[in-house]
Amino acid sequence: MIAWLTPAGFGAFAALAVPLLIHWMRRSDRRVVSFAAERYLREQPHPREDRAWHERVLLLLRLLLLTSLALLLAWPVWRGGRAPPPQAPWVVVAPGIDAAAAHAAVDAPLAEWHWLQDGASLTSQLRELDAALAPGTALTVLVPEHVGGLDAERLRLTHAVSWRALPVAAAPITAPSVSTLPLTLSVRYDAPAEAGAPGATEVGVLRAVAAAWAAARVPATVEFAARDTALPPRSTWLVWLGGGDLPPAVAAWIRAGGRALATRQKDGEGEAALSDADGVPILRERHPGSGTLLSLAAPLLPDAVPALRSARFPQELYALMSEPREAPDRAPALSIAPVAPVTTPAAAGRALALAPPVALVAALLFLIERSYATRRRA
Amino acid sequence: MIPPELRARLRGLRFDSAFPAGGLGLGQHLGRSRGAGVEFEQYRAYEYGDEPRRVDWKLYGRSDRFFVRDATRDSPRNVWVLIDATASMAQADALRPGYSKLAAARLLSECLAEIAAAHGDSFGLIGIGGAGLQLVPAGAGVRHRDRVLLALEALRCAGEWPGDASTLRPVWERIEGDSLVVMLTDGFDAALSEFALRLAAARRHVLSLGLVSCEERDFPFEGGFVFRDPETGAECRVDAEAARADYLARFTRARAELARRLGAGGVRHVDHCLDEAPDVPLRRLLSGGARGSARP
């Protein structure tokens, strides 16, 4: 049985009108010849119709060629034989579900029961199973109420799925993977204003923090540059010293996903990200656009922020900045039920692409048409 | 210009024919003028005024009567070429577009002028077409031949055969009796055929050479055509394949009828197709039928 993947390709049949028109119209332009013996010619009593089909073989070849091209555009496939016999229904149980509870929940005596592997991604296992399963098999999936280890793609299966969520006493929670990327800081400061004793300037404080990180073998690198240096890549933290409103370029950089720490900013915006021992917020966190901005109301100086004198400050700052950022991968099971199955050729059995032979036929027709159209006429 | 090989083949041709030449003076052809000469013609009775030295005295001695001995003189022939310069003579074959019927007529006229110059005959040229009548008076010699060639180059074909007698009057005035008139025409014009018959009836010896193009003879067209008569502008829309058999039958019949009519009127007609060598029709026209019966 031939099926058509892109039936819109049949619109190309409209192109058949072109050779038909050409072969229909060309007769009308008769050549005018000066002929002295015209008096011996007689107008035929029934002159052959001007608009007659001529070069019929060529016309047929051209029509066949266009037909084959239109069929090619419609992308024919051959679906083998009749539909396969119905299979026993499958019940697939996600890890973490008690076998007894599962058997109690599903009333399918003839079903084949399968337990998914623990540890591997639930969604990818389901997709693989869906691809391998014979078409038309009824599928029941039992999942816990909360499912983890999801990916960004919505689950899309070709089989119709009965999606059941069962309560689980202790849902398996996998430890979040910690980001192992080294922390990089890029400090921008006003060089003339920051000239002075190491302990009396903001740059000096940051150099001290960097030295503390280096001493503790923390995977962090800190680089210092003048304010007008080009902005670093977005994976780097930008530390903007000297206060004042952020330049538009820096603000845009943050909104586009950058992360920055700025001192001497207006107070009271954002929620506290780092507080001192008394609970007074030091750094406040905001999220302009898709970026992150940690702002410090005071200058980054021990006199203004006494917490800087604490020996734990570099550690806390590192913890704040190197906070693992993991995409959310847990969701209630019912909210991620597979969307309606899409019918693909694979769903109805094995399909054989007929495009190559049709393309071959079209190429052959083209060659024959060319050789016939340019043949030597007597 | 006449190609050299054609010129070589022309060497054997001359204006011999069944009738005596009518030109005055001395020439190479059997003439009609009688009198003193070497070739005996007849005895006739003495008339008052005959020179006494022309009386055959030996015969007087035998018969006791005066007889005058007449002889014929060899005379030059007056040859006129009359070219049909109507628009239909511009017909040429698609395979050889430069060689129209008029070009063929030019070449044939050159050949005739060459033959005439070679035998001392006087030669005149008349072209008749829609533009009127172009005439080169009869004359003899190589310089006159060149004058004819120049006039031939200037000859153009246009329009239809002039119907009024005033245009054709110089023909009657110039072409004397007993002249040889060679008409080069396509033979499509009935008025021209009538004119040839009238010339023949008026004691001019008319030869007609009908020029036929290969396309007219073979009708090798394929497909739909509109055929237009260059003179009348009449058009005929035909499919060549369907019309071929009928056309060829009618055309062949018309040519045969033309030859028959002209022959009945004493005009010898020969058809010449443009793909033949020009000396072939001349040979058939000039030497056909006249050998051996030159004397009346």
- Residues paired with residue A240 on neighbouring β-strands, in sequence order: A188, A262
Instruction: At A248, list the tokens.
Output: 């538009």
Rounded-to-integer distance, Cα A87 and Cα A108, Å: 13
Instruction: At A318, list the tokens.
Output: 């590192």
State the pTM of this model. 0.48
ipTM of the complex: 0.72
Using a CB–CB cutoff of 8 Å, tell me whether B247 touches chain A: yes
* Mean pLDDT within A322-329: 66
* Dihedrals phi, psi of B211, to nearest 5 degrees: -90, 125
* Confidence (pLDDT) at B103: 94
Q: How far apart are the first and last CA of chain A?
A: 46
Query: Is the pLDDT score of B291 beyond 60?
Result: no
Cβ-Cβ contacts under 8 Å, B273 against chain A: none
Rounded-to-integer distance, Cα A278 and Cα A261, Å: 22
Q: Report the residue from A31, A38, A48 with minimal CB separation from B234.
A: A38
Query: Is the pLDDT score of A103 beyond 80?
Result: yes
What's the pLDDT band for B290 if we cut at 50, 70, 90?
very low
The mean pLDDT value of chain A amounts to 81
**Nearest alpha carbon to residue B121 among B2, B237, B17:** B17
Contact at CB, A30 and B250, closer than 8 angstroms: no
**Nearest alpha carbon to residue A185 among A317, A280, A335, A278:** A317
**Which residue stretches of A45-172 are H helix?**
56-73, 99-105, 122-132
Contact at CB, B250 and A42, closer than 8 angstroms: yes
Give tens-digit pLDDT for A247-304: 888 888 888 888 888 888 876 677 888 888 787 888 888 888 888 888 888 888 888 8
Using a CB–CB cutoff of 8 Å, tell me whether B257 touches chain A: no
User: Which of A107-111, A331-335, B64-68 has the highest average model confidence (pLDDT)?
Assistant: B64-68
* Confidence (pLDDT) at B104: 94
Strands, E assignment, chain B: 29-35, 39-45, 67-75, 78-85, 92-93, 96-100, 122-129, 132-139, 180-185, 205-212, 224-228, 235-239, 268-273
Looking from the CA of B205 toward its CB, the CA atoms found within 13 Å total: 17
Contact at CB, B216 and A34, closer than 8 angstroms: no
Using alpha carbons only, what angle is made at residue A94 by residues A89 and A96, rounded to the nearest 5 degrees?
140
Cβ-Cβ contacts under 8 Å, B223 against chain A: 30-31
Give tens-digit pLDDT for A111-162: 888 888 887 788 888 888 888 887 778 888 888 888 877 887 888 888 888 8
Rounded-to-integer distance, Cα B185 and Cα B174, Å: 20
Give tens-digit pLDDT for A28-48: 557 788 888 888 888 776 555
* Confidence (pLDDT) at B289: 47
Contact at CB, B251 and A42, closer than 8 angstroms: no
* Dihedrals phi, psi of B126, to nearest 5 degrees: -135, 125
Whether B46 and B55 have beta carbons less than 8 Å apart is answered as yes
Residue type, position A305, single letter: V
* Confidence (pLDDT) at B80: 93
Instruction: At A123, list the tokens.
Output: 């969604």
Rounded-to-integer distance, Cα A189 and Cα A195, Å: 10
Residue to substitute from A25, A31, A39, interface B, most B β-carbons within 10 A:
A39
The DSSP result for A95-117, as a single string, is: TT--HHHHHHH---TTPEEEEPP
In angstroms, the Cα distances linking B124 to B79, B102, B146, B197 are 6, 17, 12, 20
Query: Is the pLDDT score of B154 beyond 80?
Result: yes
Contact at CB, B234 and A44, closer than 8 angstroms: no
What's the pLDDT band for A206 if we cut at 50, 70, 90?
confident
Whether A287 and A259 have beta carbons less than 8 Å apart is answered as no
* Mean pLDDT within A365-377: 89
Give tens-digit pLDDT for B191-244: 999 999 999 999 888 999 999 999 999 999 887 788 888 888 888 888 888 889
- With CA atoms as reference, the chain B residue closest to A47 would be B238
* Mean pLDDT within B176-190: 89
Instruction: At A194, list the tokens.
Output: 């920051």
Q: Report the residue from A34, A43, A44 with minimal CB separation from B228.
A: A34
**Nearest alpha carbon to residue B278 among B48, B118, B103, B148:** B103
Burial class (CB in 10 A: 0-12, 13-18, 19+), B93: buried
What's the pLDDT band for B32 if we cut at 50, 70, 90?
low
* Mean pLDDT within A323-347: 69
* Confidence (pLDDT) at B83: 94
Instruction: At A376, list the tokens.
Output: 């030597």
What's the pLDDT band for B296 if we cut at 50, 70, 90?
very low
In angstroms, the Cα distances linking B237 to A47, A54, B224, B226, B228 are 8, 18, 7, 4, 9
**Nearest alpha carbon to residue B285 among B118, B139, B108, B126:** B108
What's the pLDDT band for A362 if we cut at 50, 70, 90?
very high
Residue type, position A374, single letter: T
User: Which of A76-80, B35-39, B80-84 has the highest average model confidence (pLDDT)?
Assistant: B80-84
Using a CB–CB cutoff of 8 Å, tell me whether B62 touches chain A: no
* Mean pLDDT within B86-92: 90
| C-alpha distance from A52 to closest chain B C-alpha (Å) | 11
Contact at CB, A36 and B230, closer than 8 angstroms: yes
Whether B129 and B86 have beta carbons less than 8 Å apart is answered as yes
Query: Is the pLDDT score of B295 beyond 50?
Result: no
The mean pLDDT value of chain B amounts to 85
* Mean pLDDT within B167-177: 88
Whether A76 and A352 have beta carbons less than 8 Å apart is answered as no
Rounded-to-integer distance, Cα A91 and Cα A105, Å: 11
Query: Is the pLDDT score of B41 beyond 80?
Result: no
**Other CB atoms within 10 Å distance of the CB of residue B150:** 10
Contact at CB, A32 and B228, closer than 8 angstroms: yes
- With CA atoms as reference, the chain A residue closest to B247 would be A41
Using a CB–CB cutoff of 8 Å, tell me whether B229 touches chain A: yes
**Which residue stretches of A4-89 are H helix?**
17-25, 56-73
Whether B199 and B262 have beta carbons less than 8 Å apart is answered as no
Plot region of A317 (φ>0 → left; ψ -120 to 50 → alpha; else → beta): alpha
Instruction: At B235, list the tokens.
Output: 């058009």
Cβ-Cβ contacts under 8 Å, B239 against chain A: 44, 47-48
Whether B10 and B279 have beta carbons less than 8 Å apart is answered as yes
Cβ neighbors of A70 (< 8 A, separation 6 or more) are A9, A10, A11, A12, A13, A15, A16
